[in-house]
Amino acid sequence: MAVDNVDVLVEDVVKPENLVYRRPSTLLDVELHYCPGCGHSTVHKIFMEVVEEMGIQNDIIGVAPVGCAVFAYNYMDVDMQQAAHGRACAVATGIKRMLPDKFVFTYQGDGDLAAIGGNETLHAANRGENFLVIFINNAVYGMTSGQMAPTTIEGMVTTTSPYGRDPKTMGWPLKFGELIAPLPGVAYVTRQAVNTVQNVRRTKKALQRALEYQKMGLGFCLVEIVSNCPSNWKMTPIESNNYVQNVLIPYYPLGDIKVPEVKK
């Protein structure tokens, strides 16, 4: 008994009822300026998916950093404030203290969060400020074209560590999540990545969990996302994602670093 191989017309498949994925409505319908393959865009996309799915587009305020994602507010269709370099956690503190029942998040790069903004991030964490910090760790200063960042790993070449990062004169790579995890005010610290389909799925879940913890008022949540920087690493997008997998992730292992016990 043979089963006919029914050849299916495209029109039959492309129907609203068959839709399984579309761009989130909370991501503004504009071209993202990020370089081809850049993890920033991926994180923007999945975070806006979470905002859409949780139905909180009208109840969330974001703080954009200085860095490649300085234009996040051109893409995220939510109320946002643009903070001075490094000061996003202070700005977010000001917002959250004034609007405690709104969701608040910052979106920061490694330089913004761990170099110039280290003190603001540390103290917001220590105060247990109840907001989400999305921390994109791509080990370089992207926007200013590739300088060494606090998370640049040993031996990694950047425009300000042209012979590779030498800890003796440039310090060691900073694991900010691990640094603040022991603080009582910190509820959730996790490190994710968006270099593979599976990692993107996991990162999306982590972002959703962080917002749920915020809703429960559990305190400071940090979702660190190891990401790529094709242009400044001088790699193709695929090579850069492989670099994330084979070089960065071994130094910055993925997974939950601190999780609040939540009685289910």
Partner 1 sequence: MGEVKLMKGNEALAEAAIRAGVDAYFGYPITPQSEVIEYLSREATKRTGMVVLQAESEVAAINMIYGAAGCGKKAMTTSSSPGISLMQEGLSYIASAELPCLLANINRGGPGLGTIQPAQGDYFQAVKGGGHGDYRLLVLAPYNVQEMADFVKLGFELAFKYRNPVMILADGALGQMMEKVELPPQEQRVHIEYPWATTGKPKNGERRVITSLHIQPEKMEEINLRLQRKYKQMQEEEVRYQTKNLDDAEYIFTAFGLVSRIAMKAMDLGRQRGYKIGWIRPITLFPFPTKIFAEVAQRVKGILDIEMNSGQMVEDVKLAVSGATRVEFYGRMGGVVPTPEEILENFEKMFIKGE
Partner 2 sequence: MAKVVGEIIIDIERCKACELCIQACPEQTLALGKSLNHKGYQYVVKVNDNCTGCVNCAIICPDAVITVYRKVLKTKQVETT
Positions touching partner 2 (CB under 8 A) are: 1-4, 6, 8, 10, 12-15, 18-24, 27, 31-32, 34-42, 45, 196-197, 200-201, 230, 236-238, 241
28 half-sphere exposure, CB direction, 13 A CA radius: 13
* Cβ proximity to partner 1, 95 vs 221, nearer residue: 95
In this structure, the dihedral spanned by the alpha carbons of residues 44, 47, 51 and 57, taken in order and rounded to 10 degrees, is -30
Nearer to partner 2, 24 or 142 (CB): 24
- Site residues (CB under 8 A) for partner 1, limited to 99-118: 99, 102
Nearer to partner 1, 126 or 242 (CB): 126
246 touches partner 1 by CB under 8 A: no
Tell whether residue 120 is a contact of partner 1 (CB under 8 A).
yes
User: Per CB under 8 A, which of residues 122..181 are in contact with partner 1?
Assistant: 122-123
Minimum Å gap between C-beta 202 and partner 2 is 11
Judged by beta carbon distances under 5 to 8 A according to partner kind, the member of partner 1, partner 2, none in contact with residue 201 is partner 2
What is d(CA 221, CA 99) in angstroms, rounded to the nearest whole number?
A: 17
- What are the strands, taking DSSP E only, across 47-102? 60-64, 79-82
Q: Applying CB under 8 A, does 25 fall inside the site for partner 1?
A: no
Cα separation, 96 vs 129, in Å, equals 8
Task: Please tell me whether residue 82 adopts helix, strand or coil conformation.
Answer: strand
Amino acid of residue 243: Y
Residue that the structure tokens 């960042």 belong to: 149
Q: Which does 102 bind (CB under 5 to 8 A by kind): partner 2, partner 1, none?
A: partner 1
**Binding of residue 57 to partner 1 (CB under 8 A):** yes
CB of residue 236 to partner 1, shortest distance in Å: 27
Enumerate residues 6+ apart whose C-beta is below 8 A from 90. 83, 120, 124
Out of partner 1, partner 2, none, which partner does residue 168 contact, by CB within 5 to 8 A per kind?
Answer: none
Question: Measured between alpha carbons, how far is 112 from 143 in angstroms, rounded to an integer?
Answer: 11
Backbone angles phi, psi at 200, to 5 degrees: -65, -45
Q: Of 121 and 240, which has the nearer Cβ to partner 2? A: 240
